[in-house]
Amino acid sequence: MSAGSGQPLARCAESLEKQTTLPHDTCHPPVTGAGNTNRRKLPPLSHGETDIMTRRDLHKTTALSRRGFLTLAGATLAVTGAGKFTMTTAQAGTGFKLTVLHINDMHSRVDEISRFNSNCSPSDAEEGSCYGGAARLATAIRSRRDALDGADMPHITLDAGDQSQGTLYYTTYGGQAEVQMMNAIGFDAMTLGNHEFNRGPESLAEMLALAEFPIVSGNIQVAEGTPLDGLIGDHLIIERNGEQIGILGVTTPDTVFLSSPGDDVSFQDDIEHLQEGVARLKAEGVDKILVLSHVGYVRDRQIAAEVDGISAIIGGHSHTLMSNSIDEATEYAGLVESPSGRAVPIMQAFAFSRFMGEVELEFGEDGAVVAASGDTILLDAGFAPAEDIEALIEPLRGPIEDMTRQPVAELAAAIDGSRETCRAQECEMGNTVADAMLSEVAEQDIRIALANGGGLRASMGAGTVTLGDVLTVLPFQNTLYTLEVTGATLVSALEHGVNGVEEGAGRFPQVAGIRFRLDLTVDPDAGRVSQVEVMGADGWEPLDMGASYGLVTNNFMAGGGDGYAMLREEGMNGYDTAIDLAEVLARHLAANEPFAPQIDGRILQ
C-alpha cells in the first residue's frame, strides 16, 4: 500500500471531525416510537470514557442534579419516572405546544454503527447491538411524526449540523449521499457544521444544491457570485397551527481554521449575529425563536445567558451525551437564565445517529418557554430500518464495501481511540498512530512524533482490521510532514495542545519519542507541561530548549491547523512526504501483527 499503489486512500477528505464512544450498550426490548425511556445503569465505561465537556464544564453552571429537580429563573425542572424531564414556570402559557425532533453530528453514519460508532459487524448485527444509521433514524422520526399527527400536535424536525465527514460515504460521495437520506426522511431545517466545509465551498455548494430543505446559518457571510451565494439562509420562519416559529442558525466561527471554507466565506461572531437576528425576527412579529446551533454545549450556555429573546436552543458540535435514561449522561435538558430572567432550555443528542432528541415546548405570551418535556431516544434494535431508505443506500454500498473488505492486520486486543481519552490523556490509539509515524521515518534523523487527538476518529476492536477500519480512524487524507523545531517550540506546542482539555479540544497532543508530565490543576497557559524528556541513543534525556529536533507530524498541524501556529511559523526545513497517514497506520499494524496496543507513561498525570 504505497503512495502510488492506486488504493482509494487519497480520496479521504481533509481536516477534522468528531468521534467518541459510548458505554457498552446492550440490546433493549423492541419499542414503538419513543424508544426505551427507562433509566438504566449501563456497563462500566471502557478506558475511562466520559463526556469531558459535560463533566468539567457543565457542573460549573446550573444544570439538573441527580437529586431530580432544579429551580432557576422561576422554572422548576424535574425528571419523571419515565426518564423524561419536565419544566414548568409560574408564567401562563398560550396553549400552543410544539414538538421538536432533532439530531446533530451524524458524521456520515449512513449505515448502522457499532458501540464504537464505526462499522457494525455481522456479529454485532446478529447480537442486536447495532445502532442508528439513516434507515433506523427514518423509522424513529416517522413513527413519532405519525403519532404527533394523529394527536394533531404540531412538530418540526431539525438537524444541528455536521452531517459530513467520518465514513467512506463522505469519502466517496462528498456529502451527497447524506443529503439524499435527509431528503427522503424529511427535515424542516439544518444549520451547517464546520465539517460541511471540509472539501471546500465548491463541493459544499454541490451538496447543498441537492437539499430539499432550508439551510440556516446566518452568521456565515458569502461573497456575491461565489459558489455558496444564495444557498445559505439568514433565518427561517415556520408556521404551525397558525403560530410562527423563527429559526436562527449559527455555525462555529472556528470553522476558519477547523475546516476549509475558503477566502470567500467569513463568519460573524455567533452572539453578535444572534442578538441582531432576534431583533429582526421580533420586528417581523415573531417571538417564538429557536436557535439551531453548531457551536458546542458550553458556548450554547453562554449564548443563552447573553442573548435575550431566545426561546430554546437545539445544539451540536460538542457531541454532548444528554439523557435522563443513562446514568453516565448529562441531563436532558440544560437550563440557563437569560438576561431578562426567562429560563432557556438547551438540548443536544450526542452524535452519529445513535440518538434522536424529542422535546415538547409550550410557549408563553412573550415567546418564552413556560413548560417543556422530553429526552433523547436511543435508536437501538427496537427500531426496524426503513425499507425505502435501505433501498436508497444499497446501490451506494458496492464501491464502499469493496474498499472496506480489504484485510490489513490482526489485533491481539482492541485499541481505544475514544474522544474522551484521546483528547485528555495518553491513549492507545494515540500511541499507536504516533509510533507508526515515527517508524515510517526511522531512517531519518527524526526523534519525535506529534499527532492531534482530535484527528483520531474511532477505536478498533480485536481481531481482523480492514482498510475500512483504518480509514474510519483516519479519514482525512492527512499526510506525514517532517520538520525541525527547537525544544522551546516543542514545549510551546505541547502547552498549546493541553490548554484545551476542559473544552474537549481536538488539539490534545499524542506523542512518540518524547514524554512529559501534565498538571491539569494549573490554569491553561500557565505552565501545565513539565519534565519533558526525549528518547536518545542511551535512553531518556532532558529536552534542551535551545537544541533542534527532528519532528514528524501531519500536514494539517504543520500548516497551523488546530491552532499549532508555532509549527508553521517557527518550524524549519519542512517537507510534506505526501504519504497518507492511513497508509502509515496500516503498514505499522501489519508489520507488528498480532498487534497489541500499549500505555507506557508518555504523558504522566
Q: In the structure, what pLDDT confidence band is assigned to residue 76 with cuts at 50, 70 and 90?
A: low
Q: What is the pLDDT of residue 543?
A: 98
167 within some domain: yes
Query: Helices 134-150 and 387-404: crossing angle, nearest 10°?
Result: 170
Mean pLDDT taken over the chain: 86
Spatial neighbors of 395 by CB under 8 A, at least 6 apart, are none
pLDDT of 259 reads 83
Average pLDDT over residues 547-575: 94
Q: CA-to-CA distance for 447 and 464, rounded, in angstroms?
A: 31
Given a cut of 70, whether residue 90 has pLDDT beyond it is no
Domain count, the chain: 2
User: What confidence category does residue 20 fall into, taking pLDDT thresholds of 50, 70 and 90?
Assistant: very low
Average pLDDT over residues 507-528: 96
Would you say residue 12 has pLDDT above 60?
no
Domain edge (last residue) among 366, 390, 414? 390
* Residue 86 pLDDT: 76
Q: Is the pLDDT of residue 167 over 90?
A: no
Query: Do 468 and 511 sit in the same domain of this protein?
Result: yes
434 and 528 belong to one structural domain? yes
HEC string of 145-158?
HHHHHHCCCCEEEE
pLDDT band at 59, cuts 50/70/90? very low
287: phi then psi, degrees, rounded to nearest 5: -120, -5
Cis link prior to 594 (omega < 30° from 0)?
A: yes
324 in a domain, yes or no?
yes
- For residue 188, pLDDT beyond 60: yes
**Residue 463, pLDDT above cutoff 90:** yes
More confident site: 516 or 480: 516
pLDDT at 17 over 70: no
Both 410 and 383 in a single domain? no
527 is in which domain, residue-wise?
406-604
Between 420 and 50, residue with greater pLDDT: 420
CA 535/CA 527 separation, integer angstroms: 22
Mean pLDDT of 289-305: 97
Q: How far apart are CA 99 and CA 395, in angstroms?
A: 34
Dihedral angle sign, alpha carbons of residues 8, 9, 10, 13: positive
Instruction: State whether 493 and 564 are in the same domain.
Output: yes
The pLDDT of residue 7 is above 60: no
Mean pLDDT of 130-138: 97
What local confidence, expressed as pLDDT, does residue 243 receive? Answer: 97
- Whether 57 maps to a domain, the answer reads no
Per-residue pLDDT at 74 exceeds 70:
no
574 shares a domain with 516 = yes
Residue 75: DSSP 8-state: E
pLDDT at 54 over 80: no
CATH number for 120: 3.60.21.10
Q: Print burial letters for 34-51: b (CB count within 10 Å at least 16), e (below 16).
A: bbbbebeeeeeebbebbb
Q: How confident is the model at residue 376 (pLDDT cuts 50, 70, 90)?
A: very high
Residue 42 has pLDDT above 50, yes or no: no
DSSP state, residue 54: I
Give the whole-angstrom CA distance, residue 17 versus residue 166. Answer: 7
Q: Do 343 and 436 fall into the same domain?
A: no
Residue 2 has pLDDT above 50, yes or no: no
Task: Give the pLDDT of residue 579.
Answer: 78
Would the pLDDT of 70 be above 50?
no
Q: For 394, how many CA atoms within 13 A lie in the half-sphere containing its CB?
A: 7
Percent residues over pLDDT 70 in the chain: 84
Check residues 114 and 519 and name the one with the higher pLDDT. 519
Q: Is residue 448 part of a domain?
A: yes
pLDDT of 35 reads 31
Is residue 19 a part of any domain in this protein? no
End of a domain among 348, 364, 390? Answer: 390
pLDDT at position 60 is: 29
Pair (383, 415) in one structural domain = no
Please state whether the predicted TM-score (pTM) of the whole model is above 0.85. no
Q: Per the domain annotation, does 78 fall within a domain?
A: no
Residue 526: partners with Cβ closer than 8 Å, 6 or more residues away: none
Q: Is 474 found in the same domain as 562?
A: yes
Whether residue 52 is contained in a domain is answered as no
What pLDDT, on a 0 to 100 scale, did the predictor assign at position 283?
Answer: 97
Q: Are 472 and 118 in contact (CB under 8 A)?
A: yes
Task: Read off the pLDDT band of 345 (50, 70, 90).
Answer: very high
Residue 152 sits in the same domain as residue 219:
yes
Query: Within this chain, do residues 428 and 299 fall inside the same structural domain, yes or no?
Result: no
Report pLDDT for 250: 99
> Which residues have a Cβ under 8 Å from the Cβ of 355 and sit 6 or more positions away?
103, 132, 321, 323, 349, 376, 377, 378, 379
Residues 413 and 558 in one domain: yes
Q: Is residue 91 part of a domain?
A: no
pLDDT score of 483: 96
Task: Report pLDDT for 75.
Answer: 65
CB 206 within 8 A of CB 266: no
On the question of pLDDT at 443 being above 60, the answer is yes
What is the rounded average pLDDT of the residues 511-540? 96
Side by side, the strands of the sheet bearing 69-72 are 69-72, 75-79, 85-89, 369-378, 355-364, 93-103, 155-159, 189-190
Which of 337, 360, 390 is the endpoint of a domain? Answer: 390
Q: pLDDT category, 22, cuts 50, 70, 90? A: very low
Task: CATH number of the domain at 547, please.
Answer: 3.90.780.10
The C-alpha cell at 119 is: 462499522
- 471 pLDDT above the threshold of 50: yes
| In the predicted structure, residue 16 carries a pLDDT above the cut 80 | no
Q: Are residues 458 and 582 in the same domain?
A: yes
